[in-house]
Amino acid sequence: MGAFVYWQGPYFFQPVAIGSAAAPVPLTPPAVSVIGRQTGTEMAGKSAYRRYYLTRKRILSGMRPTGKLHLGNLHGALSNWIALQNHGDYDCFYFVADWHALTSDYATTDDIRANTIDMMIDWLSAGLDPVKSTLFIQSNIREHAELFLLLSMIIPLAWLERNPTYKEMKEELAGKDLSTFGFLGYPVLQAADIIMYKAYGVPVGVDQLPHVELTREIARRFNFLYGEIFPIPEPLLTEVPKLLGIDGRKMSKSYDNSIFMSDRGDVLKKKVAAMFTDPQRQRKRDPGRPELCNVFTFHQLYSTGETVAEIPPACRSAAIGCIECKRRLAEAIADGMRPIHERREHYLRHPEEVRAIIEDGNVRAARIAEATLFEVREAMKICHEL
Ligand code: SF4
């Protein structure tokens, strides 16, 4: 089990204040609302703000802007990010990893800008608060590139070649040319992203543990060569519910089986109606096995406790058909996602707010990145006084 398990279920959108339900929040952030808010920079001079932010452990995580986020992303990484943000003990830095998108998609960059903004809107709509969390774009902080370059000088090639996910990803993305320096070196860029902010922890799933281990190795090597600059980041294991796509495979954009966060109305209904169910239940009179049915997994996240208690016996005794079960699920998802869709509408209508949030996050991130690079250049003796 991971160190951070905030999953509350069965009704996801009630416990969005997950941190406060699972563990009392010891410090209260300054009261602000996301919409029509004061920016973090405007608040930075205020002592309540400083007290709140300086006493917390720093967390860092990012996502590649490769297209719309789906419910698997929402209930996986994103809900955990929100829980960490709301917990109160953590100073969360979340970034859109647009340079990382180039490591596998360098030839098709037309959508990166739009995807970056769309991803930020999805984050804000889901409940990331730009005052509690620092939200920024990787390529706006040029120090990431400089630290990546400096680290790449000290990393043995064998460390990258033996990276277990390197071969796996090459096989998974077989249609793409991944024989580039950028793709082999992406764990170094990832390490630069993390240690730049002297992160205490990185929220990850089990499959990403080797990456964090490599980052820890890189930080240790730097410290050994040039002195103790970087804390060694901890992996913060996250347990997430296993949500499958509508065809029963892992939910993924490349399988074209995703329910996107922005799906609503008829699009949502059609996707839910097309979901695979218990394969043994061919006819309505066949008894079903809800514990093996992806539709029921979604009910556990979106439906009320009453519905979640009602469905298993009704399914096992064939008192409810899959069509009715899915109809109820589509309604529950639509209800649960309504606040997210409303916030999404707001940000789509006010792109200037999104821009201001990004600019503010960039300023906050750059302040730390500049200070770290100053230390790094000093430690490596490559700062020249002219
Ligand atoms: S009734 Fe619902 S839980 Fe049971 S098999 Fe059909 S869709 Fe799945």
Q: Which atom of ligand 1 is nearest to the CA of 278?
A: 5
Same domain, 190 and 261: no
Determine the pLDDT at residue 164. Answer: 78
Residues 156 and 272 in one domain: no
Q: What is the pLDDT of residue 56?
A: 83
Q: With a cut of 50, say whether residue 55 has pLDDT above it.
A: yes
Domain enclosing residue 60, as ranges: 14-30+37-243+360-380
> What would the DSSP string read from start to end of 52-91?
HHHTSEEEEEEE---S--BHHHIIIIIHHHHHHHHHSSEE
328 or 252: whose pLDDT is higher? 328
Within-domain flag for 385 = no
* Domain-embedded: residue 2: no
Residue 6 lies in a domain: no
246 CA from centroid of ligand 1 (Å): 13
Joined tokens for residue 183: 């793709």
Share of the chain above pLDDT 70, in %: 85
More confident residue, 65 or 10: 65
Query: Band of the pLDDT at 331, cuts 50, 70, 90?
Result: very high
pLDDT digit string, tens, across residues 127-144: 999 999 999 999 999 999
Name every protein residue with a CB atom under 6 angstroms from any ligand 1 atom: 277-278, 281, 288, 290, 293, 295-296, 311, 315, 320, 322, 325-326
Tell me if 229 sits within 8 A of 220, measured CB to CB.
Answer: no
In a domain, 9, yes or no: no
> Are 239 and 257 in the same domain?
no
| Residue 364 and residue 284 share a domain | no
Ligand 1 atom 4 nearest Cα = 315
* Å from CA of 339 to ligand 1 middle: 27
Kindly tell me if the per-residue pLDDT of 386 is higher than 70: no
Distance 260 CA to ligand 1 centre (A): 22
Listing DSSP states for 40-55 in one string gives: HHHHTTSHHHHHHHHT
Q: Among 293, 324, 328, 329, which residue has the most ligand 1 atoms within 8 Å of its CB, making it the best to mutate? A: 293
352 within domain boundaries? no
What distance in angstroms lies between residue 315's CA and the mean position of ligand 1's atoms? 6
Same domain, 318 and 375: no
Q: Are residues 46 and 124 in the same domain?
A: yes
Residue to substitute in 271, 295, 310, 333 for testing ligand 1 pocket (most ligand atoms within 8 angstroms of CB): 295
Stretch 38-66: mean pLDDT: 68
For Cα atoms 102, 116, 14, give the angle at the middle one, nearest 5 degrees: 125
Structure token pair of residue 102: 């180039």
* Spacing, Cα 313 to ligand 1 middle (Å): 10
pLDDT at residue 27, rounded to an integer = 36
What is the predicted pLDDT for the residue at 166?
Answer: 75
Say which CATH number the domain at 366 has.
Answer: 3.40.50.620
Do 140 and 89 reside in the same domain of the chain? Answer: yes
Residue 104 lies in a domain: yes
Residue nearest to ligand 1 atom 1, measured at CA: 322
Asked whether the beta carbons of 57 and 90 are under 8 A apart, the reply is yes
**CA 46 to centroid of chain Cα atoms:** 29
Per-residue confidence (pLDDT) for residue 46, from 0 to 100:
53
Q: Are residues 219 and 268 in the same domain?
A: no
- Are 257 and 239 part of one and the same domain? no
In tens, the pLDDT along 110-127 reads: 999 999 999 999 999 999
Nearest CA to ligand 1 atom 3: 290
The whole-number pLDDT of residue 47 equals 58
The ligand 1 atom at the shortest distance from the C-alpha of residue 294 is 8
- 177-196 pLDDT per residue, tens: 778 888 899 999 999 999 99
pLDDT digits over 269-321, tens only? 999 999 999 999 988 889 999 999 999 999 999 999 999 999 999 999 999 99
**Nearest ligand 1 atom to alpha carbon 326:** 7
259 shares its domain with 233: no
Domain count of the fold of the chain: 2
The one-letter amino acid at 188? V
Centre of ligand 1 to C-alpha 5, Å, is 27
Confidence class for position 239, pLDDT limits 50, 70, 90: confident
Q: What is the Cα–Cα distance from 182 to 175, expressed in whole angstroms? A: 17
Residue range 321-335: average pLDDT?
A: 97
- Residue 1: HSE in the Cβ half-sphere, 13 Å Cα cutoff: 5
Q: Which of 39-48, 133-142, 154-163, 172-181 has the lowest mean pLDDT?
A: 39-48
Which atom of ligand 1 is the closest one to the Cα of 314? Answer: 1
Burial of 229 (0-12, 13-18, 19+ CB in 10 A): middle
Per-residue tokens: 126: 């889901």
Per-residue pLDDT, averaged over 322-333, amounts to 97
Helix, strand, or coil (residue 214):
helix
Beta carbons of 65 and 119 less than 8 angstroms apart? yes
CATH classification of the domain holding 339 = 1.10.240.10
Helix H segments across the chain? 18-22, 40-43, 47-54, 71-73, 79-87, 98-105, 112-126, 143-152, 157-161, 164-172, 181-184, 186-196, 209-226, 265-273, 294-302, 305-316, 322-349, 351-380
CA distances from 99 to 76, 79, 105, 116, 269 (A): 22, 24, 10, 11, 35
Atom of ligand 1 nearest to the CA of 290: 3
Same domain for 331 and 228: no
279 CA distance to ligand 1 centroid (A)?
10
Within a domain: residue 302? Answer: yes
Q: Do 263 and 168 belong together in one domain? A: no
Residue 351 in domain: no
- Evaluate the omega torsion of the peptide bond into residue 312 and state whether it is cis, within 30 degrees of 0: no
For atom 6 of ligand 1, the residue with the nearest CA is 322
Q: Which residue has the tokens 């917990």?
A: 87
